[in-house]
Structure 1
Amino acid sequence: MKKGYPVIDFLRVIAAIFVIAIHIYPFASISPFLDFICTRVVGRIAAPFFFMVISFFLFQYGYPTYKHIKKTILSLLKWYGYAIMIYIPLMLYNHYFTQPHLYLEVIKDLFIDGTFYHLWYFPAVIVGLIIVLLLKKGLVLLAWGIVVILYIVGLMGDSYYGMIVHIPALQTFYDYLFVYMDYTRNGLFFAPMFLMLGSVISEEYSIHQKTFIFTGCISFVCMFIESLLLHTMTSIRHDAMYVFLPVVCFCLFYLCIQYQGNRHPLCQKLSLYVYIFHPLMIVVVRMIGKFTHLMVFVDNNFIQFLLVVCGSFGVAYMIVYLLERKNGYGRKV
């Protein structure tokens, strides 16, 4: 087995589970505070982690070749296309194609917001990668300056929106911006920061591991306090972005790559399929609950969460099995 980063592989699966939690709020009826920590703090590391994984491996041996870039982007486009087709029936059910200004909405969703609520990730990582690839061709300080500015603009349109609306000029700017996007959590403002971090962390560092542990813990506490204050003291348009989130993610990812061993490619496949299919499983679990009158499937968030996790991983395992069986037959032929 080729040597790799097993911690990254395992965290892919854990991150996928946290994504499910964000969409269900599993502990809401048990402990709102625990649910807040799970979905509004820890869970917000998941998407940046996936961004950093892609960027880390893309830039692992320096600036990637055109062939490697093309392969990565085409793979993302392929899975985005598959995911769009999978969710067309639900889009029809939700009357997506009957909304006014349909062509404009489709363009906006395809390139920025995603055609279903979790599919924003694919256009975000594609757009973000293009931005980072272009920036890394130039001066390092200029590239970082642009990325930081984009992230700050995203912060003010995301978690800190409740503060900037009291400034007329900024409110006007963001009102105009939100004509073309639902949130600033996208490939223009959100993804570049973490894709840049992923590319940088592939370089060698002489900083002691304990420094990253200490910095990561302090940053996580600060992010928790930041999130708590924002949710209690102001209105939030979305809470995917925090000031301390990049530091937390950087330290966590650095610690992940300190442990090398056998790769676990199954984790990569499972996390991808779970991410794509879990909203469909949410619908399936709720439908089963309504048709069988087992309303605990609908009303109990924790039970629903467990069922969706099990169902999503079940579907993911089935897809992996069928694809491997198909490929196995193909090789024998």
Structure 2
Amino acid sequence: MRGENKRSVIVGIFVFLGIAILVAGVLTLGGQQKKFVKAIHLKAVFDDIGGLQTGNNIWFSGVKIGTVRKINFYGDSQVEIEMNVEKSVAEFIRKDSKATISSDGLIGNKIIVIYGGTTLAPPVEDGDRLEAVMPLDTDKMMETLQENNKNLVDITNDLKLLTGKLANGEGIVGAVMTDSVLADNFRSILNNLNRASINSNKMLTDLTKFSSKLNAEGSLFNDLATDTTMVTDLKATLESFRSSANNTEALTAKLNEISAKLDDPNNSLGLLLNDPEFAQTLKRTLENTDSATYNLNRGLEALEYTWPFRKGFKRKAKAEEEGN
């Protein structure tokens, strides 16, 4: 009898432990799945859920707040996700928040991440639908990376070929890198460019100094640029020059007219200047007049010694001496 009672007690203990373990497991699993907390239902529609399953977690600001309740097809080819979200955190999720699909780690299970939202929008309510944002497609990312790797290999091969040609002295750059004469010439060109740059800087400095002197108060350029009185005087001077130019032009026209008249043989001066026969006649007349004048002077000198005029000349000479 005692043995049977002992056996019954041991069996009862094991049964109790089994039931306790089962209840603990149920409670633990229910706690992880948020089965025993008050929740609201939110929805989001995605074009592709990328392997998301019922029971996957929902995160908000790095905190697990619920699980995927149900997955339904929606529309033509979209998928609607129903989510159980703890009611206690609903006040922090706004109606303009967004939902996207991510991964729990690099290769972990799919999760839904709720993010964003502004305080201008009210908190979500049961049955609200959040805006869905499609995540980056990892398959497309891998295809892009693979394509980039191929491009990188091609670039590496091209660089290897290019460096080989440079090392062999092919092309202009290779010749410059391997030919010492070309390198010296290139260095000389760079030195000349450097000197030209220095000279240009010096010229700019001199121009700056020159412009500062021109802009200094009291200089002619500054007075011309700032003194309105001088500008008026300059305008008056230019007007005077213009008037003088007009007068000179008129005088030139008159001189041209006079010159034309002098060249005309139909008037006296034109005849005198342009007729060679008249010039020869005038020249002979002047020569004859000079000869007659000379002979007259000789005659007057001889007249002094003739007896009828001798006394008169003597009295004139005596009067001149007394006057002196």
Shorter-normalised TM range: under 0.3
Structure number with higher helix proportion: 1
Higher Cα Rg: structure 1 or 2?
2
Report 1 or 2 for greater relative contact order, CA contacts < 8 Å, sequence distance ≥ 6.
1
Structure number with higher strand proportion: 2
Normalising by structure 1, report the TM-score: 0.16
Normalising by structure 2, report the TM-score: 0.17
